[in-house]
Amino acid sequence: DIVMTQSPDSLAVSLGERATINCKSSQSVFYSSNNKNYLAWYQQKPGQPPMLLIYWASTRESGVPDRFSGSGSGTDFTLTISSLQAEDVALYYCQQYYSGPQTFGQGTKVEIK
């Protein structure tokens, strides 16, 4: 199984500042035949189901604000919130869908400083 490891486990950022979450996979999730990274990011607010933010490592899902961006390739990925808003307080998870079983990171909690 591919193990997904996120860092940090939690971070506190001031409103309007940048938040950066890292995700590392135990093996590459890049498929060279289509030049795609099989990596997604989700946001989960308390008491709610997860919401898809980004897939193919950097493609924003429809309706997701452009302050959310994804980057990286191979085994190292980053979710960046360029200007943290109060409504961004949540848990964030990365997921690989390169090979079964699909696996998730342990989550990163984002709070306001």
Partner 1 sequence: QVQLVESGGGVVQPGRSLRISCAASGFTYSDYSMCWLRQAPGKGLEWVATVSYGGSDTYYADTVKGRFTVSRDNSKNTMNLQMNSLRAEDTAVYYCARAHLGTLVLSPLDYWGQGTLVIVSS
Q: Where along the sequence are the contacts to partner 1 (CB under 8 A)?
A: 38, 40, 42, 44, 48-52, 55, 61, 93, 95, 97-107
Task: Please state, in angstroms and rounded to a whole number, the distance separating the CA atoms of residues 68 and 13.
Answer: 15
Q: Please, which residue, 41 or 84, has the CB nearer to partner 1?
A: 41
Closest separation in Å from C-beta 98 to partner 1: 7
Specify the residue, 7 or 83, whose C-beta has the smaller distance to partner 1: 7
88 backbone φψ class: left, alpha, beta (φ>0; ψ -120 to 50): alpha
Q: Which is nearer to partner 1, 55 or 77 (CB)?
A: 55
CB of 100 to partner 1, least distance (A): 6
81 exposure class (CB count in 10 Å sphere: 0-12, 13-18, 19+): buried
